[in-house]
Amino acid sequence: MTHTEKILILDFGSQYTQLIARRIRESKVYSEIHPHTYSLEDITKEKPAGIILSGGPMSVNEAGSPSISKDIFELGIPVLGICYGLQLIAKTLGGKVEPAADREYGKAHLNVLEDDSLFTAVDDGSVIWMSHGDYVTKLPAGFYVTAKTENSPLCAISNPGKKIYGIQFHPEVSHTEFGKRILDNFLFDVCGCKADWTSENFINFTTDEVTGKVGSNKVICALSGGVDSSVAAVLIHKAIGEQLVCIHVDHGMMRKNESAVIEKMFSDNYNMYVDYIDASSLFLERLAGVTDPEVKRKIIGNTFIEVFEAEAKKFSDAQFLVQGTLYPDVIESVSVKGASVTIKTHHNVGGLPERMNLKLIEPFRELFKDEVRKIGRELGLPEIFIRRHPFPGPGLAVRVLGEITKERLDILREADDIFISELDNHGIYDNIWQAFAVLLPIQTVGVMGDTRTYENVIALRAVTSTDGMTADWFRFDHSFLETVSNKIIRSVRGVNRVVYDISSKPPATIEWE
């Protein structure tokens, strides 16, 4: 997609780089992340409104540490250096960076020393978030100090004539009290951005682009029913109407009534053609006796491609395949040592585009998940689809630990449905990143009435997270867990014990397999 204005973020390996991009987009300005090796020629071609140099884990004085061309500062484009980025500005332009006697990690208080565009409406003494072992000890020519902390006498520096700014702290993290204000000051006061990166503009631009690209050809969309594929289907349908064919493959590992709900929602609300394939018996047959989670995933992935390909071939005039690839998938691996961005093979439908000679349409490859949700709301998708928790491609196959049978899947479906329904009933579903039930491959002794039972164990999992990379277990009220446990044991035949998973990620993963 072409943007009238953008902020380029050059990544030096900070764990917060994606967060910088998200914060900028929250202010309705488009931002893009590139590795620090992005060439001067490419930067010049992009004509960004501003450049941000991210933090990074190395010292600028370390052998082999990432550096930057001095010519970047001669392009006339505003530059903001954050943490490592500040130190890089200082070192590259003739200043000095040395190890700090007292390293700063965590909260500090910012003392603003000068009137400066970056600190307009930022309170003196406000809390900032530090994470550094080096600090600037000598300013480059043309710069002056605009803020300090107890341990960093040169915490923020500025060359307003050249519009080059550096700060030792992280404005992108929520711990920095006026972080959003500082970034907004850079975006709007320094770079002159217009705040026009909106859902509405994105929808209009993308529908025009897709219409032009597709012409009169048919387009196929693999509709899983998750947020990304659902929003992508509605967006592309808005652009090309009946030229879109949605294929939904029910592999038998969906949640309770899920496939029926997906089919009904799209055909009723959007007058959209959904080709529904019930392939559950084929998948179950191939999974019989398999217990290894990786083997399960391979069988499901390969069988899905086989079923989808056979169905898609019926639409011989199709030239394009829609996929819900997101921006984090595209930028997932950025090497600090200078390799270019590695694009992860993240095709929801495996190697299908190549095998079937289809061209890809990836409307969301520049978007984060929360941006896709906003677009879904703008397009009028029901809230029940927009707010859904993430669901793995292999579905319940990775939540039925051990052998997969229809009986075991049905037990899990019922238990999971009770758990999720109670989260909704208690108004806490939206406070949780992901929640689900897991069927364990063990049986335990219980007593029901006067009879001894030997039945299944259900584990409940609920976590909070911002991006799924790290997660913490959700602290339920004990009475809620009691209600869910009682309902599951009373209602689901074959279960006599319920446990709750209190592991964080890391060291545990969110899913059990």
Q: List residues with catalytic annotation.
A: 83, 170, 172
**Cβ-Cβ contacts under 8 Å for 471 (sequence gap 6 or more):** 433, 434, 463, 464, 465, 504, 505, 510
Task: Quote the CA–CA distance of 249 and 3 in Å, as a whole number.
Answer: 36
Q: What angle (nearest 5°) sits at the alpha carbon of residue 465, between those of residues 463 and 467?
A: 135
Joined together, the tokens standing for residue 36 give 């620090």
For residue 141, what is the enclosing H or E element?
Answer: none
Token duo for residue 212: 């032009």
Separation of alpha carbons 435 and 415, rounded Å: 12
β pairing state of 451-464 and 472-473? antiparallel
Beta strands in 307-414 (DSSP E): 318-322, 359-361
Contacts of 118 (CB under 8 A, 6+ apart): 80, 146, 156, 158, 165, 167, 182, 185, 186, 190
Q: Is residue 62 exposed (0-12), middle (13-18) or buried (19+ Cβ within 10 Å)?
A: exposed
Contact 186, 50 (CB under 8 A): yes
In a 3-state reduction of DSSP, which class is residue 249?
strand
Tokens of 154: 């040169």
The upper half-sphere exposure of residue 489, i.e. CA atoms within 13 Å in the direction of its Cβ, equals 20
Q: How far is CA 210 from CA 20, 207, 414, 437, in A?
A: 29, 5, 41, 39
CA 276 to chain centre: 28
* Alpha-carbon span 141 to 159, nearest angstrom: 9
